[in-house]
Amino acid sequence: MPAQHHHKPLIIICLLALLTAYTAAAAAPIPAPPSVAASGHLLIDFDSGQVLSEHNADQKLEPASLTKIMTAYVVLREIKAGNIKLDDHVLISKKAWLTPGSRMFIEVDKEVSVEQLLKGMIIQSGNDASVALAEHIAGSEETFANLMNTHAKRLGMLSSHFVNSTGLPDENHFTTPRDIIKVSEATIREFPEYYAWYAEPEYTFNSIKQHNRNRLLWRDKSVDGVKTGHTEAAGFCLVASAKRESMRLTSVVMGTDSEEARAKESLSLLNYGFRFFETHRLYDAGTTLNQTRVWKGAKESLAAGVEKSLYVTIPRNQYKNLTATMQIDPKQIAPISQGQSVGSINVSLADETVLTVPLVALEQIDEGGIWPTVRDTVLLWFE
């Protein structure tokens, strides 16, 4: 019977609902992305994951204070887990107080709340705040770096390694443009209420007001983050994210030669993406897209759909040329587990495949009793 299961043709079902057309005029050809004066860069759509421009996106580079995106992410995970609270008071160590570079000006042996330290790190890029938080959570900055690497691995940041919470130079401390966007997007997705702090233009602590170093917050109201970084070795770096209407793009430039350059190059990338592309949600996660026959199961019908909401990014004014086909293997034999692949969805633009994603079982189907098993075994012989 298994041989029959694998050699029968697939059912091809056209999803006509996807053919609803916009009345927009035909789109002009998409120009090449702008030239970016950086050691590495990446521009990506937040929802679809579509890369719109990249150069050296997988090259290991020094992140400087972009590191603090990961530091803040780990802190927020600890808050979510209930291990620490925003109003916890942190005793400032001499090491944190003496940490060189940018700072929020905390004082040794004073107590500062986790919330104040987070804002001082996110808005003011305080190295002292980063170390204080690391020590509060893990006992030492070195142990905290192990937590950073654990989360990096979980997020798929396989070309990154962190040895400190600040981004101060170390030959074993590195990331890539593609990796740093992963933790940036995880922050936006998992912690929207705290991500709002990345858009704060200034923060005052200890009667000292400091401005956010992300110049794009003043130049483009759609920009709401994320983080700047700079050391002599790393150059000037910036992860930027912006949302216009329902479309969010995230960019990173690493290794530019000035504060102005990192802002200019980032805005150039974002404007390019928003001007020439558009993103659409095609199907919601968990929505039944098809019912298919199940053999030898406790039920005869299986609901199939997508595990995650499906988005696609395409050139502007081309939605009317978008089509989708769904392929389902008709010989689905129980048991079938929820989330198991039962086919695929292929999305095409003008006959060119844009993406292919698994079609999965939305429910579990257990094996049936003796009668369904015997009956379907006989029926499959005739199939």
Q: Let me know if 301 is a catalytic residue.
A: no
DSSP-based three-state secondary structure for 175: strand
Angle at 179 between CA 81 and CA 161, to 5 degrees: 75
Phi and psi torsions of 363, nearest 5°:
-150, 165
Which residues have C-beta within 8 Å of that of residue 31, sequence separation ≥ 6? Answer: 276
Residue of 44, 355, 274 lying closest to 180 (CA atoms) = 44
Q: Which residue has the tokens 């170093």?
A: 213
- Distance CA(291)–CA(46), nearest Å, equals 31
The neighbour count for residue 257, using CB atoms within 10 Å, is 12
Q: Of these residues, 48, 68, 160, 331, which one is catalytic?
A: 68
The pairing of beta strand 290-295 with beta strand 332-333: parallel
Contact 99, 36 (CB under 8 A): no
Bridge partners (DSSP) of residue 366 are none
Those residues whose C-beta lies under 8 Å from the C-beta of residue 90, and which sit 6 or more positions away, are 111, 112, 113, 114, 117, 132, 133, 135, 136
Is 153 one of the catalytic residues?
no
- Alpha helices by DSSP H, listed for 22-140, are 67-80, 94-98, 114-122, 127-138
Tokens 């001499």 belong to residue: 94
Question: And the tokens for 359?
Answer: 């079609």
SS3 218: helix
Query: Within 13 Å and on the Cβ side, how many CA atoms surround 255?
Result: 19
Spatial separation of the C-alpha atoms in residues 364 and 316, rounded to whole Å? 39
Out of 65, 130, 184, 266, which one is annotated catalytic?
65
53 is catalytic: no
Please identify which of the residues 39, 48, 53, 125 carries the catalytic annotation.
125
Q: Both tokens of residue 31? A: 């120009």
Closest C-alpha to 9, from 374, 327, 382, 348:
327
Positions marked active-site: 65, 68, 125
